[in-house]
């Protein structure tokens, strides 16, 4: 298990890797390269979401409840983050092969832009919001 003190710095570091992964995708044009980049992004995303969903959020809510804090807004926030997660997974499922990307590279690029925006929104929201709570509980 990861040290509680290093959890936030680890997750922020993972955020930067995810942003780098998708940032590189925007620059690529070959379907095979795009697919390979998405595979790396997916691998990094699964690792990050595992840490976040299986450790960070449960431990944060547990700590808040132990200190008798109202978790309603935090739970709503987590729900909103889950919706972004679902959208990213739907995108990854849709473009799970070079052939699926090749069918319409222009549409892929347009949807990729939306995913990049959604991911950046999630990252900014977490880093300026719930991550700052970690030290309090």
CA distances from 45 to 56, 63, 126, 132 (A): 15, 25, 15, 21
pLDDT tens-place string over residues 15-55: 999 999 998 888 887 888 999 999 999 999 999 999 999 99
Average pLDDT over residues 102-120: 92
The percentage of residues in the chain with a pLDDT greater than 70, rounded to a whole number, is 99
Average pLDDT over residues 67-79: 96
Check residue 5 and give its pLDDT: 77
CA distances from 120 to 16, 49, 62, 114, 115 (A): 10, 15, 27, 10, 8
The percentage of residues in the chain with a pLDDT greater than 90, rounded to a whole number, is 78
CA 64 to chain centre: 23
Check residue 94 and give its pLDDT: 96
């Amino acid at each position: 298990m990861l040290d509680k003190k290093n959890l936030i710095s680890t997750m922020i570091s993972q955020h930067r890797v995810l942003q780098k992964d998708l940032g590189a995708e925007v620059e690529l044009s070959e379907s095979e390269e795009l697919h390979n980049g998405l595979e790396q992004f997916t691998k990094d995303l699964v690792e990050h979401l595992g840490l976040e969903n299986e450790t960070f959020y449960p431990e944060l809510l547990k700590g808040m409840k132990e200190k008798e804090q109202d978790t309603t807004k935090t739970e709503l926030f987590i729900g909103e983050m889950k919706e972004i997660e679902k959208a990213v997974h739907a995108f990854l499922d849709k473009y799970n092969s070079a052939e699926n990307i090749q069918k319409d590279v222009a549409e892929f690029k347009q949807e990729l832009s939306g995913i990049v925006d959604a991911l950046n929104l999630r990252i900014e929201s977490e880093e300026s919001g719930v991550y700052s709570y970690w030290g309090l509980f």
